[in-house]
Amino acid sequence: MPRKHSSGRFILLIHLIGHPHIAALGRRSDGPRFVAPAGSALDAALGALLAITASAMIEGTWPRLKACPGRDCGWAFYDRSRNQSARWCAMQVCGDREKARTYYQRRLERED
């Protein structure tokens, strides 16, 4: 059953449908979906990104799309944790590095 859309999400939906060069509404067996337009590679990539973002906002999964706070990372990731508490794109990489930095800083402060 579809969720009730807030007015902001509805306005975004109408805006995207009205601008088919950004994203178009397509039909699939599981319901309507945003699809990226055909065109240049850059237009297609931006359209796909906007389509994913708009779908996440409308479906209510937007809060699960997060930016990794790791230094020099820049990745965005989808938080699949049950309580939406994931912080890093990959704990084994960014999380471990940040924890090691924090530990090293605390150790230096204790030595001073």
Per-residue pLDDT tens over the stretch 16-72 = 555 555 556 666 676 656 666 666 777 777 777 777 777 777 788 888 888 899 888
Q: Counting beta carbons within 10 angstroms of the beta carbon of residue 48, is it exposed (0 to 12), middle (13 to 18) or buried (19 or more)?
A: middle
Quick one: pLDDT band at residue 1, thresholds 50, 70, 90?
very low
43: nearest Cα among 15, 26, 21, 25: 21
Residues 73 and 37 in one domain: no
Structural domain for 96, as ranges: 63-112
Q: Give the global pTM.
A: 0.52
Are residues 15 and 46 part of one domain?
Answer: yes
* Cα(51)–Cα(33) distance, integer angstroms: 8
Given the DSSP bridges, would you call strands 24-28 and 76-78 parallel, antiparallel or unpaired?
unpaired
User: Is 54 found in the same domain as 80?
Assistant: no
* 79 and 47 housed in the same domain: no
**Final residue before a domain boundary, out of 44, 60, 76:** 60
- Predicted local confidence at residue 102, as pLDDT: 92
pLDDT at 106: 93
- Number of domains the chain is built from: 2
pLDDT in tens, 18-31: 555 555 666 667 66
**DSSP string for 74-106:** --EEE--STTS---SS-IIIIIHHHHHHHHHHH
pLDDT score at 4: 46
Lowest mean pLDDT among 15-24, 71-80, 82-91, 92-101: 15-24
Q: Are residues 1 and 55 in the same domain?
A: yes
What is the spatial distance between Cα 41 and Cα 66, in angstroms, rounded to a whole number?
A: 25
Same domain, 79 and 111: yes
56/68 same-domain check: no
Is the domain of 1 the same as that of 51?
A: yes
Judged against a pLDDT cut of 80, whether residue 5 lies above it is answered with: no
pLDDT at 72: 85
- Domain identity same for 9 and 56: yes
